[in-house]
Amino acid sequence: MILSDPDEPKFGRFANGKPKKGDPKTLFRQSPKWKEFRALMIRMNNAHCELCGCHYTGKRVTQLQVHHLDPENYYLLNPVSFSVVCSSCHDVIERFVTMIKGKNWVLPNNYREWWILIGHHLSKEAREKMGVLIEEKAKKEKELVYEVR
């Protein structure tokens, strides 16, 4: 929480949500500083979505979005803390992040596929939570094996 405002809402908006008026994060994304950073990030990976690999040119470049890997430090513009994804992939990532944050979330059966696909697009907090759940699941499965014996 280096540069963030303690009074700001904990979550800005979802990838596909409507911008909230007066929300500091929404305002920040309209600033020249953010727009320059966004353009740099998109240039750095040659205008490809890092998840589905789709390439965008011309006006369609606006389909690409810069996703925060470290939303706790929302205003800290370090390229390693961001990934570039298309709006569709961004929705999938944010949906999964929201699910992980849920109190009663349990690992889905296909969690390995999810982990391979979007593990490196998750925030540290979400990765840690998923890591703990994966460990617990592995432990339980081991116990089951012993019981069978």
Q: Does 25 bind Zn ion (CB under 5 A)?
A: no
**Interacting residue with Zn ion among 41, 86, 118, 126 (CB under 5 A):** 86
Q: Does 121 bind Zn ion (CB under 5 A)?
A: no
Beta strands per DSSP E along 61-128? 64-68, 82-86
Residues 6+ apart with CB under 8 A from 122: 69, 93, 96, 97, 100, 130
Q: Which region, judged by CB under 5 A, interacts with Zn ion, from 21-29, 47-55, 122-130, 132-140?
A: 47-55
Residue whose CB is less far from Zn ion, 35 or 140:
35
The SS3 call for residue 59 is helix
Q: Does 40 bind Zn ion (CB under 5 A)?
A: no
Measured in residues, the chain has a length of 149
Applying CB under 5 A, the residues found at the interface with Zn ion are 49, 51-52, 67, 86, 89
